[in-house]
Every structure is written in structure tokens, then in C-alpha cells.
Structure 1
Amino acid sequence: MFLSQAPIINRYNFISKFFRGPGNSTGKSKLLYRLVGETSILDLTAENRHYFSIGEHADKIYQENEALVTSYYFNVTTSVYGIRQSLAYSTHEISLLLKNGKNRLVKIEHHQYLQAVDTLSINGFLLDKKKSVSTGDLRALTIVKIYSNLAEIIQPLGKLPLEFSTDDWNDIRADSVTLVGSNLTITQQTITEKKKSLNNAQVYVRAPSSSSTKTEFIKATLVDEKRNLVKIIDKDVSKDPIFFTAQSDHIVYENDPPQTKYYVNFTYDTTDAVYLSYLRSNLNWKTRYQLNLFEESKPVTLISMADIRNDGESKIDIENAELLGGDINLQMHATHRFQYAQVAYSSASFDAASGPAGPAGSTNKLSVGQGEEVAGLYVFTINQPFSIEAKTNYLVPMFRPRVTVERYNSISKYFTVAGNSTGKGERSYRLVSDRFLSGGNCVIREFDRLVGETTLPDIAAKSKHDFSIGQDADIVYKENVVLISTFSSNISTSIYGARQTRTQSTYDINLTLKNYKKNRPAKVEYQQQFTGQTVKLFKPNAVFTQDGSTVKATFTLAADEEKSVTYKIEVVN
């Protein structure tokens, strides 16, 4: 019997990170658990707390800037052999920006671990005035909840025990098979592997007297199918039965041999309807995108398709389906392939290059609804029943988000040493959508021509996502770094009074940009990251700005224009 007691569970988002020193950092909060993930539960004592996370939350975004305000050293004498030790006191100013892309109140816990200091903890709430979305009764119909690598099947419980073939069982996660329902208590569950024995079955076996030129089969009795031990009666050899072990391919069966079956049985107590739930790996989905860009005056279009894959050996009939997107920690115990053997499109019409059109006059269009946020994930509902043939990819049109895309050339580099460097700008895009976008492959077209592709992560509504798809040969930069001055100072370390050198260096950085395009201007965004204990941009400088340990600038180059700019930087290592 399963003994259960309702635990107290608090859902929250949290940000946990280690302090790394001055600079900028961004990221997403972690979320806790509809079926959104799994975790291993430790042995817990009564009333003890256990914290765990199951994935990132695309709607909870943070940006943090750490700035070194002051730093000074002084020497002390340790209690061990009078050794001199140098201690450093540093004051940092940490600016934390939190963004809630949800339509409801959320709780966020922020932890930052500071070496040799203390742990900084912040608890807070982010509020949006919109009301939360109700998910409804999940038990109303047979539902298939499809994830990126598996699917959860929920269907009315049939006659017990439940029987599964070997092929079906290989695609099912055994420890996920369970019952769901209101006021349900499972008192016992068994999973049994059974196969009808072939022992004492009549078979034909290749006779021992057979040769390479002549093969003869004689009737025999299979005594032990595991060892392929057979019994024959050959009066020419002996009056008594003869036993020998035959090769598997030397045995011929009169009927199709029975296959292994798996049986699942339950005993339970309930007064309401009961449903069977389990995970299967041969049904999954992902998002396909096509981003179409034209002149600046024309709107951008982003076509999104739900690509549902049935990798099984038989047709699947789905009565009600949900597609779940987000950072979901769910795994099958075995690795399963995701192939493209056959593709079926479901729609009456598409935009150009987005897929073949459906039959003329079709009125029942299969489509995917707008995503609704549930427990940090997004749920997309398919509006009607459908079927997917075996080994088939079934593409269904999703919502059409309103997006804006800013095109620019990016130059992003790390500072090394004094000297010269050259390079080319990257063809870059800044995408903003009015709603959540689940991660997936995106093909980019400009002026009806394919120009590249990228993999989009989960993107929260109204959040910016920058990506690059290749170099632009017409945007060239040259950079000359000149060391103006450098001086060093020694301090004592904590190890046996050893001396440590701090070096302060000042550089002049001369940047030359050239736009070789003959017929249009180009926007260029430049950034260079520096590593050091402190980084300081000398001011005034109307072109360059400092963001933590990064120096940034934005330029607009006319057609065939060359532009040179300079900035001075101080780095302490």
C-alpha cells in the first residue's frame, strides 16, 4: 500500500549566482514545477525543507551590473609564525534589474554568493495588473500533451490489466505509468513482463545429417527455448530420443512465435472517473520559424509552424492536444532519434515558401492557439482532433506574432594587447515579439532570398533577442591599440609574505570603420570587452560609453563612407 500525506509546496522563481567581480551579467530565473518536470527527492526528515529547480523561466529576466567603488590593501601579522598577510577590502555597487513578462504576480528570490563575505539574499514580488489564465479541467477529454522530446498520454482507464506490446513498451517510460483523478488513492501497482513459453512446441529443425549441398529439415520438439535445445527421434541413429542444441536460424516454426508482452495492473480507491497517464518518446514537437524581411517601410512577417513528429510504427489518433514550450526538465531513459521521413502539411493556405497549400474549399483548418502561460511554461492548444501516420512529421500553422526586427552590423571583440587588428562586421538582427516565442530553428529571408538561419531560444514577450548569421564583407574595421603608459606597484600576498604586482596601463585605441556598400548606409554597433580588476573609460567622450567592463559605440556609415574615432582606456590588472 502507498502511504501519502499532502506536503506543503511553495512555488517560486529564484536567481542564484556567484559573484565574479565588476562587469555585467544577464540571465533568466529558475522555476519550480501540469507536468512540468522532475527531480530526484532526497531522504527528507519530517518538516525539513528541500529546494529544487526544474528549468529556466523565459518571462523572468534579470540584468545585473557590478561596479567596483573602492579597493585598498593593508598588512597584518598572522598568528602562525608571525607571517605578514595582506588583506584587501573592496566595496562593490551592485545594480539589479528584474523584468516580469507575465500577466500575474510572481515571487522571486535572489541569492548571490560572495567569497569571504556573506550571502546576499533578496526576496521580492513583481506585479502585472492583468488577471491570470485558468487552465481548465485537464480530465474533460483524452489529452495528449506533447513536449520537445516526449509526450504525456492521458486517456480513460480501460480494462485491467493493461497490455502493451514490446514495440509499444520500448517507447514508454515505465516509471511514468500511473493513474490520475480526483479523490484517487492507488493502493498497489504491478508491472509484469510475460511471454508464452515455446517449450514442448512442435518445430522443424535442420537435420544433423544435412550438408552444404543438401539441407534436410525434420520434425522436432523444442525442449528449452532459451538454449534452443530440441528433441528428435531418428530410428536410423537410435531407438531413444536424441537431444541437441540447434542454431537459432536452423529452427523453423509452424506458427508465428509469441512476443513478449507487458502487463500493468492497479488496485485503487476512488468514487470518480480514473485516467491512465504515461510518457512516450515517439511523439514530440518543435517550432519552425521563417522570418521574412523586406524594405524598412514594409512590415516584418514571422511564420511559425508546429512540427509534430510521430516516430512510431503505427498511426496515432489524437482527440485533444496541447503543445508545451519552455525550459522543461523531462527525460526518457533511452535516446530516441528525430528523423524526417515524411512530412504532412495541415492548412488551407500558406504564405509563399511556407509549405504547400491545403485542398481547395477546406473549412476545418487545423491550427494552434495562442500560448497561455502555466507554471512558467507556455501551453499551445490544437483546436480539433487529428491523426498522424507512422514515421510522419505533421506541420500545423501557429499564431502569427507581431514582430519588429532591427538590422545592423555588429563588431564584438575582446581586448588583447597593443597592436593592430582587422575584421569584418557581422550581419546581425534584433528581434522583438509581442508574445512568447518557443525555441526553434528559424530561416531568414530578405527580399525573397534565403540569407541564413539561426536557432531561437525561448523568448519572452517584448524581450530583445540579438543574433548574427554571418559576416558582411562590405563592413570592415581596423583597430590600432597604442600603449601610452604603464606602471606597477607591489603588494604583499597572504602566502609567506610573497610580493604581488599590480599593473596600471593606459591605452589609446584608434578605430577606423569603412562601409563599402555603394547604394545604402549601414548601422554598426561596436563593443569591446576588457578584463581587469578595474576598467575606466576616459571622458569626455561623445561617441563611446562604458557598460561595466565593456566599451560600446553605435555608428551610422553612409554609402562608401570611412570614419575614424579614438578613445582612451585605463586597465588595472
Structure 2
Amino acid sequence: MKSFLLLYLVAIHTLSINGLLDFKKKTQVTTTDHRVLANVKIYSNLAEVIQPLGLLPIEFSSEDWNDIRSDSITLVGTDVNVTQQSITEKKKSLNNAQVYVRSPSSSNTETKFIKATMIDEKRNLVKLIDKDVSKEPIFFTAQSDHILYDADPPQTKYYVNFTYDTNSPVELSYLRSNLNWKTRYQLNLFENSKPATLSAMADIRNDGQSRVDIESAELLGGDINLQMYQRSQYMPMSAAKGYAAYEADNAGAPGPPPKPSVGEGEEISGLYVFSINQPFSIDARTNYLLPMFRPRVTVERYASISKYFYGAGNVNGKAERSYRLSADRFLSRGNCVIRESDRLVGETSLPDIAAKNKHEFSIGQDADIVYKENSTLVSSTTSNVTSSPYGPKQSRTHSTYEVVLTLKNYKKNRSVKVEYQQNVYGQSVKLTKPNALFTQEGSAIKATFTLASDEEKSASYKFEVVN
């Protein structure tokens, strides 16, 4: 019986040691290399990095720290409870280190360096023996460019430490300013019945000084109120890196890795998340472009005239080349280059657009579509009104205007749809002259015309405005 009990205790002790060793092995995950990013959520102006928590304290170099929003560093997990956190700036002192300095007895024609001891690195105060000056040790303050080092001088580092309670895996989370993304679109329009096409590319930017390797990533689109207080400027694209460059960089490798692609996107809390299915790397100061979705789109072309009414008189101008776009899926905001019949015709910035919602935009004037507007004051009366029995009297002016609109299409080979809108300021606006062409929406008067090639049309309307 005693032998059996002894064997049982030995077995329990062995299992306990093995379990402890196994636990220690699992906790040896390191996060000192902050250029290898486990899980990255990339926004339009910054990125959230989530990594397994390794040994504490966590060390950051000055280069990495410049890209990090320090107040965003935290621990995440299902039930993690952070009880204390500290951020410490440290630099190994050069005091008492051996260096070489330009000798005080050096001349303009002869420079001599001698060994010295750094006494106070903040002042560059050194101690040395220069036989041409004194046989005894002397102290003097050297210029920074007159000091030589045997090795690379130590740099400032930052250490983040935590105390926490948890029974589940813990990860480190922080925001970085050197990673961001934008959507780039190209809208291709064709004549006749060929449908328009819209292609989207995810433009991911590494604004840092070093290459980053990303194991998994998500791109987030929508109206997201996150700010990077240290550096959030989106740099102009200086280099674009796509598939061809990626393959060239990996020439001679055991085999080409799978090409990353961006997923279709998933709606979460009013935002859209696009997952990238493969690891990828982005060099420093590089834009990395990946193809995204190709939605089904409908695009309506028309000429638009939208103006404000300023009173009686004559006005003339040109219509705008305008488009009305809708897609079968959410479009994240981004720059859009427009081509018609394989020719660049302009560009615009698209906002976030919900699926099937229509977005209108203009890209420039159409010199072939001109308008003339003759506005005449028909009548004007002024009356006094009070807002309440005890309030002061206020004057109101009721004015009636007649507007004669003339449109001309100078194109010789095609008709054009023209949408007209007159915006009127006033306490109230009322369209008075019955006319099937003109309608009123709020304080705006609208009409739609179709002009055949080389056709001119005129129409008129009256409205009353109270000011």
C-alpha cells in the first residue's frame, strides 16, 4: 500500500512539472519584432494591430514608437482585467564609455583623434589625456560631429508593462499611423447598349521607415471616428507595388505564394469589413494595391444646370457633365477615375454609398449645352406682420418673378437630357404659373428636357417668393 501511494505521488509530481514546463513554453511568445504583424485592422487613417502577448515588459524602438498612439496600447481578451499599466522611456547611458574625440590640439590642416572617456553624454563632456596639451587628464566639451564610437550608440527605447488578471488568452492591441488604406475606382462608360463597369482596388499604404509583414488583415470602410494624434497624413503615392513587383521581389523563392485578394465585404454595426485571405508584405514608403470587388452598376448620363436665383436680370452659362451612379453593393469612399470610350474624361471623389442608393456628381462643363435665363419682376408688395400680439412688427416683401429659360444643344450627332434646377432663397417660395414642365421641391424649381441634336427650346414659369 505504501509503495502504491509513493508511485502515485511521483506520477502526480512528474505531471505537474511537465504541465508547468508546457505552460512556460506557451508563454514564450515574443512581440519584440513589431514589423511582423499578426492581425491588422486597417482604417482610412490608421491601423489597429493585435498580437499575442509575449514576455513583459514589451519593448518598442524609437522608430516603431513614432508610429504608435501611446494611449491606445492595451490588452484585449474575453475576460482580461488590467489592474496596472506603465510606459517607460529608457536609453542606455554612454557615461564612462570609451569613445574617440577630435583632439583639442588638432589644426585645420591636421586632424587627430584620441581615445577618451565619456563623462556626461548630455553635454558631450569627455575626459582624455592629450600630451600636446597636458600630461594630466583634461576635461572638455566636444562637438557632436567630433565624437567617434566603436559601435552604434544606444537608442531610446520604450517599455510597456502590465499587471492583469485573466483565465483566457491575452492579446496586445495598439494603433499605428503608418498603415492606412483607400479605395481607388475606375469607371468605364461605353456607347450604345454596352453596360458600364466599375473596378475597385484597395490601396494600402505603409508610411513607415521599415517593411512590415502582415499575417492577416481586414480593411474597414464607413464613417469611423478614429484619430491618430501623432501622425495621420496620407502621403502621396510615390511607388505602387502590385503583383508584378511582388513576384519580382520573390524571384528564386521555392515557389510563388498565393496572391492575396480582398473579400466581398461584410456589414458590421454600420461599417463594412473586407478580409484579405493571404499573408502579404509592404515595403517602407510603398503603396500596395490589391483588386477588390467589381459590382454591377448603372450609370445615367445627363447635363445639369443648377443655379441660385439672385433677382431680375439676364443670366447665361453652360451645363455640367453629370452622372447618376448606383451599384448593387456598398461602395466605400475613394477616388474614381472616369473613362468614356477608352478616354479619360475626369475624376471625382465618391463618398460611402449604400447598395442601390443613387449618387450624383459632375466632372466639368459641357460647352455644347448652353442656357440663357431672362428673369423679370412682375410685381412686388410689402406688408407689416407681427410674430405675436406683443411682438414687434416685421415687414414682408411678396415678389413675383417670371423666368424665361432658353436651352440650346450644339451637338451635331446626338441628343442630350438636361436637368434644370433653380434654387430660391426666401421665407416661402411658390410656383404660380401652371406648367407641366416645371415642378417644385421645397424651395427649388426643377424641370427636365430632352434636346435633339442642334435643337433650341424655350420655356417659362412664374413663382412668388416672400422675404
Match of residue 193 from structure 1:
89
How far is 1:341 from its partner? 2.6
Match of residue 136 from structure 1:
none
Is 1:378 equivalent to 2:272 in the alignment? yes
Match of residue 419 from structure 2:
525
Distance 1:561 1:165 in 2: 70
Match of residue 33 from structure 2:
none
**Which of the residues 57, 64, 67 maps onto 1:168?**
64
Distance 1:370 1:464 in 2: 20
Is 1:217 equivalent to 2:144 in the alignment? no
Match of residue 505 from structure 1:
399
**Which of the residues 207, 211, 218 maps onto 1:322?**
218
User: For residues 483 and 288 of structure 1, do their structure 2 counterparts lie closer, same or farther at Cα, with a shift above 3 Å needed?
Assistant: same
Q: Helix, strand or coil for the counterpart of 2:65?
A: helix
Is 1:545 equivalent to 2:418 in the alignment? no
Match of residue 133 from structure 1:
none
What amino acid does structure 2 have at the position aligned with 1:466? E
What amino acid does structure 2 have at the position aligned with 1:160? L
Distance 1:481 1:236 in 2: 96
Is 1:206 equivalent to 2:102 in the alignment? yes
How far is 1:243 from its partner? 1.4
Does the aligned pair in 2 maintain the 1:347–1:366 contact within 8 Å? no
What amino acid does structure 2 have at the position aligned with 1:386? F
How far is 1:232 from its partner? 1.7
Q: Helix, strand or coil for the counterpart of 2:105?
A: coil
Distance 2:105 2:38 in 1: 60
**Which of the residues 189, 193, 200 maps onto 1:297?**
193
Match of residue 183 from structure 2:
287
How far is 1:493 from its partner? 8.0
Distance 2:462 2:277 in 1: 60
**Which of the residues 326, 335, 339 maps onto 2:236?**
339
How far is 1:288 from its partner? 0.3
Distance 1:301 1:474 in 2: 26
- Kindly indicate which of the two structures has a greater share of residues assigned to helix: 2
Match of residue 422 from structure 1:
316
* TM alignment of 1:330-479, pairs within 5 A: 330-337=226-233, 338-346=235-243, 364-479=258-373
Distance 1:424 1:528 in 2: 14
How far is 1:417 from its partner? 1.2
Is 1:227 equivalent to 2:128 in the alignment? no
More displaced, 269-278 or 309-318?
A: 309-318
How far is 1:314 from its partner? 2.2
Distance 2:117 2:213 in 1: 43
Match of residue 80 from structure 2:
184
Match of residue 56 from structure 1:
none
Q: Helix, strand or coil for the counterpart of 1:319?
A: strand
User: For residues 210 and 363 of structure 1, do their structure 2 counterparts lie closer, same or farther at Cα, with a shift above 3 Å needed?
Assistant: closer
Distance 2:228 2:279 in 1: 26
Match of residue 36 from structure 1:
none
The C-alpha deviation readout for 1:210-263, integer Å capped at 9, x for no partner, is 232222222211100001111122344344322121111111112210111111
User: For residues 256 and 412 of structure 1, do their structure 2 counterparts lie closer, same or farther at Cα, with a shift above 3 Å needed?
Assistant: same
How far is 1:420 from its partner? 0.2
Match of residue 260 from structure 1:
156
Distance 1:244 1:142 in 2: 50
Q: Helix, strand or coil for the counterpart of 1:167?
A: helix
Does the aligned pair in 2 maintain the 1:527–1:550 contact within 8 Å? yes
Distance 1:167 1:567 in 2: 67
What amino acid does structure 2 have at the position aligned with 1:563? K
How far is 1:416 from its partner? 0.2
Q: Helix, strand or coil for the counterpart of 2:71?
A: helix
How far is 1:315 from its partner? 2.1
Aligned residues: 421
Match of residue 133 from structure 2:
237
Across the aligned residues of Structure 1 and Structure 2, the Cα RMSD in angstroms comes to: 2.1
- Give structure 1 stretches of 5+ with no counterpart: 1-140, 349-360
Q: Helix, strand or coil for the counterpart of 2:64?
A: helix
Q: Helix, strand or coil for the counterpart of 2:160?
A: strand
Q: Helix, strand or coil for the counterpart of 1:177?
A: strand
Is 1:567 equivalent to 2:461 in the alignment? yes
Distance 1:370 1:546 in 2: 41
Distance 2:241 2:315 in 1: 51
Distance 2:90 2:459 in 1: 78
Q: Could you say which structure has the larger radius of gyration?
A: 2
Q: TM-score, normalised by structure 1?
A: 0.71
How far is 1:499 from its partner? 5.3
**Which of the residues 556, 559, 563 maps onto 2:450?**
556
Distance 1:210 1:365 in 2: 60
* TM alignment of 1:84-163, pairs within 5 A: 142-163=38-59
Q: Percent identity?
A: 74
How far is 1:347 from its partner? 8.5
Does the aligned pair in 2 maintain the 1:346–1:397 contact within 8 Å? no
Distance 1:416 1:248 in 2: 68
Distance 2:315 2:79 in 1: 70
How far is 1:571 from its partner? 0.7
Q: Helix, strand or coil for the counterpart of 1:208?
A: coil
Q: TM-score, normalised by structure 2?
A: 0.86
Distance 1:562 1:329 in 2: 50
- Give structure 2 stretches of 5+ with no counterpart: 1-36, 246-254
Distance 1:274 1:566 in 2: 72
The C-alpha deviation readout for 1:83-123, integer Å capped at 9, x for no partner, is xxxxxxxxxxxxxxxxxxxxxxxxxxxxxxxxxxxxxxxxx
User: For residues 164 and 473 of structure 1, do their structure 2 counterparts lie closer, same or farther at Cα, with a shift above 3 Å needed?
Assistant: same
How far is 1:309 from its partner? 1.0
Does the aligned pair in 1 maintain the 2:116–2:127 contact within 8 Å? yes
Does the aligned pair in 2 maintain the 1:415–1:529 contact within 8 Å? yes
How far is 1:492 from its partner? 5.7
Q: Helix, strand or coil for the counterpart of 1:168?
A: helix
Does the aligned pair in 2 maintain the 1:346–1:366 contact within 8 Å? no
Distance 1:347 1:365 in 2: 11
Distance 1:504 1:273 in 2: 73
The C-alpha deviation readout for 1:425-472, integer Å capped at 9, x for no partner, is 000000001111000000000000000000000111111100000000
